[in-house]
Structure 1
């Protein structure tokens, strides 16, 4: 499956990107209001390169390369604190990139030049499964492996302890040719995400979402975790996040 490709011959788009880059560069020294300036700064981050996702070799593709399949409005924070207009965003975990859509070209997908991006917050609307919420993704600066430190992690819970989800995906190619093939006629994107609990001492512990592993990673929370589990009977990831919220509430601001 291919996302819509950008027609790079359109001089108008190139002009917008160049003008946006010049505008963003000139505005770094001072305070910039929202509105047109924020939109110009955002345009300066669009690389304009075609955004292509893996396509099944024979009978299609199973799985998704994204942390979230929907286009959700996102507020992006840069290292230089330039204001950016909210933009529909997707995090392509497989290709390690951010994709965006602009008001001017709502049917096209642009790759964001995210070298200056510190974090982004997705605005998830209310649904039958829960209320509206903000989902924060930040750089995984404390990752155990250097190659993961430019990845994004979702901050699922933040109290004395912090629960992080490191999204990881891999592509398993179709295998249906040859005498020893597995006769798998589709490409598959496999989810290999890992959860981490960051302790008050800044220690990062890989965990599974369950009472025993969470208690082992956070012994001071043992009694509160057991009480919350008894009350909430968690089954889903969201349930376990609610358990942590109850056992380790965020400090008052």
Structure 2
């Protein structure tokens, strides 16, 4: 990557994030502002903030990597945690809002009148939060390392410092503004390349044949076949087989497959 462009771009995003968080700080005055933004966040801003959280490093980078390595079956992961968001909104967020509590441990103690339950809920919150933070920090480190060549740990440190400063300074209102800003930024980062790719595809005559072409390997590859497979070859192919071909058991032996079905 050309650091002449990537370093200023990363710096610009960091500065913009800090400025957006500072805007939330200007209008945060009370404890309610800090913890729940005085419960005055509109549905559109809240939806953008939740979507910004959804498009985190785990989904923005992780799901793409899983699909690349493991195949399209990995698309069930985002379906799963999208459903999880709906469950949280219905069974956790709504009762929490009605109770007037600021945190899940507060809600658990108020509902069950137990300090033990409060501590247990607090432990779960910290544990789940830590498991969520790890891939985000890892994604930040990998991204910065790929873009600028900086040490992988530096990306995680920068993200941690910016987030902690934003939360400590402006609380929920600042975080809501930052997450909404991040959502539109990441959505733009997704849509702009898609637009240019679509234009290039149309300019190339909108070819469709490539999608139906068989797999092609430019160098030696190991391919594992777990089920019966029928091959149609345009030309003879020599492969090294550990398994069975046409009912013959082969163990690491080269065999030439003839052209045809």
TM-based fold match above 0.5: no
Q: What TM bracket, shorter-length normalisation?
A: under 0.3
Bigger Rg, structure 1 or 2: 2
Higher share in helix: 2
Q: TM-score, structure 2 length as denominator?
A: 0.21
Scaled by the length of structure 1, the TM-score of the pair is: 0.22
Q: Greater relative contact order (Cα 8 A, min sep 6): structure 1 or 2?
A: 2
